[in-house]
Structure 1
Amino acid sequence: MEIHSILFVCLGNICRSPLAEGIAREIARKAGLSLRLDSAGTSGWHIDEPPCERSIMVGKRHKIDISNLKGRKVSVYSDLEFDLIIAMDRQNYSDLLQLGFPREKLALMGDFGLGGQEIPDPYYFRDLDGFEKVYSMLESAITELIERILDKRL
């Protein structure tokens, strides 16, 4: 399967998935890969809100600006066009299946070089350490993802 578009999905679309989108944009750009990248949440709690402050701060520490992104809810009607839809954890994956997304378009972020680990939701963490850990996990997994796309191993 050739990948031209990727949607990153978490629960609220304010912590993990916008960070994943920002990281993927930067890694794809550096690799010279043109991809359509977006993010969404399985809940509608943060529609049109910017990413949470701590995700924005951690992104900026790594020279990635996600402050202009806006939260949105994933929709089987408008998001089926994505070639690959990547869930941050097993609950997000399960929710995507229940919403009607086909299993063959879905993947778990942790399946890209992280041995199937889930990307923890840092929303309730009190400090930036949890966000830094999430950033590091995402950067590692997305680097593996982009390498697989470039090598046509996906």
Structure 2
Amino acid sequence: MKILFVCLGNICRSPVLEAVLRAHAEKAGLDWEIASCGTGDWHLGHGADPRSRASAQRRGYSLAAHRARQLCAADFRRYDWLLAADRSNLAEIVRRRPADATARVALALAHAGLPQPLDVPDPYYGNAEGFEAVVDLAEAIARAIVARDAE
């Protein structure tokens, strides 16, 4: 299984989704390739937002090695799933999808079987609670995907 999480800048939500699913998959003994990227290019090469790093670290997930990158055409062939953090990112993924794409595309929460909320809220302009909520949702997504796909 190869999963790519996609958010806007690849410094808040998608790196947390990546780290959390990777940890859960490894714990379950699954040899999955898990990565993340953003649709925008504002933060290319930057590490994860310090607030994301802190909230993830408090739960035992490291974002230390993360470097932001942008969604590219090859991602649509390399990964089995491109999972968007929100509907805006989903629309952008669909808009950029090349004709030869093989990856399936979905909202991360919906793919995990968690229909509400629809979106993983972007905490960038908010407070610490928003970053903690992203980790909460990432853990719920990871538990659901591992439980379903590890069978």
TM-score by length of 2: 0.92
Segment of structure 1 superposing worse, 100-109 or 83-92: 100-109
Distance verdict in 2 for CA 1:104–1:36, change over 3 Å: closer
* Residue segments in structure 2 that go unaligned for 5+ positions in a row: none
| C-alpha contact (below 8 Å) 1:5/1:84 kept by paired residues | yes
In 1, the alpha carbon distance for the partners of 2:146 and 2:58 equals: 22
Task: Determine the structure 2 residue equivalent to 1:114.
Answer: 114
Which of these residues, 68, 71, 93, is aligned with residue 71 of structure 1?
68
Equivalent pairs: percent with the same residue?
A: 33
In 2, the alpha carbon distance for the partners of 1:63 and 1:80 equals: 32
Q: Does residue 1:49 correspond to 2:50, yes or no?
A: no
Say how many residue pairs are matched.
147
Amino acid at match of 1:130: G
Cα distance per residue 1:38-73 (max 9 Å; x no partner): 100000111000000000001110011112100000
Which runs of 4 or more aligned residues in structure 1 lie more than 3 Å from their structure 2 counterparts after TM superposition? 101-104
Segment of structure 1 superposing worse, 109-118 or 92-101: 109-118
TM-score by length of 1: 0.90
Cα distance per residue 1:4-50 (max 9 Å; x no partner): 21000000000000000100111001111010111000001110000
Listed as ranges, the matches of 1:23-102 within 5 Å are 23-100=20-97, 102=101
Q: Tell me how far 1:142 sits from its aligned partner.
A: 1.6
* Residue segments in structure 1 that go unaligned for 5+ positions in a row: none
Tell me, what secondary structure is at the counterpart of 1:7?
Answer: strand
| C-alpha contact (below 8 Å) 2:76/2:102 kept by paired residues | no
Task: Determine the structure 2 residue equivalent to 1:141.
Answer: 141
Amino acid at match of 1:84: W
Cα distance per residue 1:88-126 (max 9 Å; x no partner): 00110110011115596101112124215210000001x
